[in-house]
Amino acid sequence: MNKIIDTNLDAFKLRFAEADDVPIILGFIRELAQYENILDQAVATEEILKESLFERKMAEVIIGEYENKPVAFALFFHNFSTFVGKPGIYLEDLYIKPEMRGKGLGKVLISFVAKLAVERNCGRFEWSCLDWNEPSIKFYKNMGAIPMDEWTIYRVQDGALNKLAMKFDE
């Protein structure tokens, strides 16, 4: 049985996800993708998530429950800063069901992951946000986050990833 983490909000608790939570996690991922207008890119399956999260342990998930019902999640993983010489935590996704927004749940979730970063002696806690997502940008800035304006994320995926990998053997 997973340890329940009490928060300063009545009826809102946190817990680390377990393998049985994969359907819940996938549901949150799909809801987030729909909110971001990229549902067609959400190709994860329960099998993929189970392997990646609970067999290979490539990332961790926190589930937020309000009155014992899952209403939020945060998915994160460790990265490493060569400049700082320490690991960091990268928050891949943070999602709160629309009807639960504005109640402080996001603040609790993000501050809990920040607490984990401090406890794990991480040098940084980072994430990305879509440029058009003004409510999230405002929320993150209010939490003390600063945008990294001089940095652009580059991505290689699908066929381009395979093509790039094959260049090693050429």
CATH of the domain at 133: 3.40.630.30
Active site residue 140: yes
CB-based contact 95:1 (threshold 8 Å): no
Q: What is the pTM of this model?
A: 0.92
The active-site residue out of 90, 95, 140, 154 is 140
Rounded to whole angstroms, how far apart are CA atoms 114 and 141? Answer: 15
Number of domains in the chain: 1
Task: Point out which residues pair with 62 in neighbouring strands.
Answer: 16, 74
What is the residue-level pLDDT of the chain in tens, covering all 170 positions? 579 999 999 999 999 999 999 999 999 999 999 999 999 999 999 999 999 999 999 999 999 999 999 999 999 999 999 999 999 999 999 999 999 999 999 999 999 999 999 999 999 999 998 898 898 899 899 889 999 988 888 889 889 999 999 998 88
Give the structural domain span for 15: 5-169
